[in-house]
């Protein structure tokens, strides 16, 4: 009996020990999943920064032209604060950044340039908010918004690319995910960039250059929307066969098709201009549903 009791107690001890190990493993897995989710949410937030660079430039022009000034000034101040907060959050991740610096020597320079550009950009937004006729503030915003866009895009792409797994197969999969994750949100930035370029043409600022920029942006958005459906090797996109994503893309495409003639028209009436802004916002809302579904697919 004693022997049986000892064996039973030993088995119970092993069972509890194994159960504890499973419990610890479960907690560890859960912790990893939570961190992955937090990282993905963080990246989704900071990727909005690309769109905000163009949104802030667009709103600055609308404020300067006195078009629904109260509304767009509120948006300008809100988005500039969000941009500022997210930049601080991104650059506080010093451990991740130090890993990237070893592989991308240019990384600190791009961070420094972005930080310096943004510091002045933010100050000029505040100047413009107090004096909408301040030409110097508006000129700086117009001249530097694309620099902000290219630098934040570079910094974010490298951040995702070099904080991922070092395993060869995992890296190949992650590269595919990176190409989708980094590009699926770009149409929202393109839409704001198009409106900004339309406003610059109407504002008679570097008209020839901005007409060319407008054509390039329209073509880039056309190509990207097609690539998200059908794939594009140069862009590194495979397209999608997911019915739900295709359905949302179809909705967004229909809005884009109605917007494109307005974007391409040389001069717009006040009614057409207001319609362009309304439909652009509608596109953003519908296209955000595409982003949500795509991100869910990436997570699987």
Q: Which one is predicted more confidently, 25 or 184?
A: 184
Structure tokens at 216: 């390039």
Q: Name the segment(s) of the chain with CATH classification 1.20.120.
A: 46-163, 172-300
Q: What is the mean predicted confidence (pLDDT) over 175-203?
A: 84
Q: How many CA atoms lie within 13 A of 291 on its CB side?
A: 22
Q: Residue 232 forms beta bridges with which residues?
A: 237
Decide if pLDDT at 21 tops 50. Answer: no
The per-residue pLDDT for 95 is 82
Structure tokens at 176: 């595919």
* Topology of the domain comprising 172-300: 1.20.120
Decide if pLDDT at 185 tops 70. Answer: yes
CB-CB contact of 52 with 46 (8 Å): no
Give start and end residues of each alpha helix (H) in 131-185.
135-161, 168-183
- Whether the predicted model's global pTM rises above the 0.85 cut: no
The per-residue pLDDT for 203 is 83
Given pLDDT bands bounded at 50, 70 and 90, which one contains residue 237? Answer: confident
Given pLDDT bands bounded at 50, 70 and 90, which one contains residue 167? Answer: very low
C-alpha–C-alpha distance, residues 31 and 41, integer Å: 15
Assign 194 to helix, strand or coil: helix
C-alpha–C-alpha distance, residues 242 and 57, integer Å: 35
Across 41-55, 207-221, 243-257, 282-296, least confident range: 41-55
Q: Which CATH class is domain 46-163?
A: mainly alpha
Phi then psi for residue 259, to 5 deg, are -80, -40
Does the CA dihedral 264-181-253-76 come out positive or negative? negative
């Amino acid at each position: 009996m004693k022997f049986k009791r000892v064996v039973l107690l030993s088995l119970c001890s092993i069972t509890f020990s194994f159960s504890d190990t499973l419990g610890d493993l479960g907690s560890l897995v859960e912790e990893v999943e939570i961190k992955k989710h937090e990282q993905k949410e963080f990246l989704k937030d900071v990727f909005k920064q690309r769109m905000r660079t163009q949104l802030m430039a667009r709103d600055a022009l609308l404020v300067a032209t006195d078009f629904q000034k109260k509304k767009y000034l509120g948006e300008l101040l809100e988005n500039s604060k969000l941009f500022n907060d997210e930049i601080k959050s991104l650059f506080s991740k010093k451990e991740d950044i130090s890993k990237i610096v070893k592989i991308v020597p240019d990384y600190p320079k791009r961070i420094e340039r972005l930080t310096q550009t943004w510091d002045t950009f933010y100050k000029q937004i505040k100047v413009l908010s107090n004096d909408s006729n301040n030409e110097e503030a508006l000129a700086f915003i117009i001249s530097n918004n694309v620099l902000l866009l290219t630098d934040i895009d570079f910094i974010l792409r490298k951040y995702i690319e070099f904080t991922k797994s070092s395993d060869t197969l995992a890296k190949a999969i992650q590269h595919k995910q990176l190409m989708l994750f980094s590009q699926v949100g770009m149409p929202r930035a393109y839409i704001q960039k198009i409106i900004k370029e339309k406003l610059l043409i109407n504002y008679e600022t570097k008209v020839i250059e901005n007409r060319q920029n407008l054509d390039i942006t329209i073509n880039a958005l056309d190509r990207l929307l097609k690539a998200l459906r059908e794939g594009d090797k140069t862009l590194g996109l495979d397209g999608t066969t997911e019915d739900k994503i295709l359905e949302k893309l179809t909705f967004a495409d229909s809005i884009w098709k109605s917007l494109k003639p307005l974007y391409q028209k040389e001069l717009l009436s006040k009614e057409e201009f207001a319609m362009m802004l309304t439909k652009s916002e509608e596109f953003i809302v519908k296209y955000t549903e595409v982003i949500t579904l795509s991100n869910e697919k990436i997570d699987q």
